[in-house]
């Protein structure tokens, strides 16, 4: 059965490979991109599937644009079966947003949280939210998350933002256990051939299809139908425990409270 699937960061890397595979399999794919010309090029490359694709522009480092993206999705869609929060960032020319927050936390943690919460009326009990986590997870400095402290190390900010994403995946899974959707955090595989890996580690990386295939599996397969709140580590090919902090109730509540505080002013829904 054809599904309606929204993918953020769908103009390159794992997101683009995932989108192409899903479209070719007959699904309706909503492609998000930050750059209009790049999104146009992707849409053109998928022109033979024009009835299955729609494009959306938003800069996820700006939470106001995330809210506008959600509003545009409400205007154009009646249901979303799967949201794949794929967009992410490691390095940036400016690491602090105009709002004074670290861009890694905004793009990797806050934007997908806000988007997921804002789109809740378009989900149903069977819907899934697949969050692109990472093997790189590190204890979160709450002051860094809140924007009260800067980071001099790109990887430290990135690893903390990915743990925060993994934590809210678990937190929202518990909150929506009865009504859905499911929330699943996935490490798609380390050192895949993405722009982020090339910029961050200076290596070509492994086949992006490794990551795309597990995202598709998490989005659609029966194996993940009861996986809400779980973490799948594709480096070892199975469900696993994330960083211990993502299993600590007090730390989960602390991080969830901070995230809620930061996104609340940008939300049109009851968070």
Predicted local confidence at residue 236, as pLDDT: 92
Predicted local confidence at residue 270, as pLDDT: 42
Predicted local confidence at residue 267, as pLDDT: 84
List, in sequence order, every beta strand (DSSP E) within the chain: 4-7, 28-33, 53-57, 82-85, 128-132, 182-187, 231-233, 238-240
- The whole model's pTM is what? 0.94
Do 84 and 17 form a contact (C-beta atoms < 8 A)? no
Predicted local confidence at residue 1, as pLDDT: 87
Predicted local confidence at residue 195, as pLDDT: 56
Q: Active-site residue 49, yes or no?
A: no
Q: What is the DSSP string of 64-118?
A: HHHHHHHHHHHHH-S--SEEEE----S--S--B-TTSSBHHHIIIIIHHHHHHHH
Comparing C-alpha atoms, which of 198, 164, 233 is closest to residue 12? 198
Predicted local confidence at residue 209, as pLDDT: 87
User: Among the options 49, 56, 158, 231, which is catalytic?
Assistant: 158
Predicted local confidence at residue 193, as pLDDT: 47
Q: Which fold has domain 4-266?
A: Rossmann fold (3.40.50)
Which stretches of the chain drop beneath a pLDDT of 50?
A: 191, 193, 197-198, 201, 203-204, 270-271
Predicted local confidence at residue 128, as pLDDT: 99
Predicted local confidence at residue 190, as pLDDT: 67
């Amino acid at each position: 059965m054809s599904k309606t699937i929204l993918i953020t960061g769908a103009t390159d890397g794992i997101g683009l490979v995932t989108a192409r595979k899903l479209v070719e399999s007959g699904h309706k794919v909503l492609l998000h991109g930050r750059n209009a010309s790049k999104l146009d090029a992707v849409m053109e490359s998928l022109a033979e599937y024009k009835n299955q694709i729609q494009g959306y522009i938003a800069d996820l480092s700006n939470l106001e644009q995330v809210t506008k993206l959600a509003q545009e999705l409400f205007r154009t869609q009646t249901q979303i079966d799967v949201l794949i929060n794929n967009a992410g960032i490691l390095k940036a020319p400016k690491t602090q947003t105009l709002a004074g927050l670290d861009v890694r936390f905004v793009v990797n943690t806050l934007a997908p949280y806000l988007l997921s919460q804002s789109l809740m009326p378009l989900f149903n009990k069977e819907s899934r939210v697949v969050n692109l986590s990472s093997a790189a997870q590190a204890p979160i400095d709450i002051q860094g998350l809140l924007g009260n402290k800067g980071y001099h190390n790109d990887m430290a900010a990135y690893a903390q933002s990915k743990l925060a994403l993994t934590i809210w995946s678990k937190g929202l899974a518990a909150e929506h256990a009865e009504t859905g959707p499911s929330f699943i955090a996935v490490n798609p595989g380390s050192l895949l051939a993405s722009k982020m890996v090339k910029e961050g580690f200076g290596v070509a990386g492994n086949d992006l299809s490794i990551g795309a295939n597990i995202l598709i599996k998490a989005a659609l397969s029966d194996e993940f139908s009861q996986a809400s709140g779980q973490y799948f580590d594709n480096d070892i090919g199975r469900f696993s425990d994330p960083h211990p902090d993502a299993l600590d109730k007090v730390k989960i509540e602390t991080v969830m409270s901070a995230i809620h505080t930061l996104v609340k002013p940008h939300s049109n829904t009851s968070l």
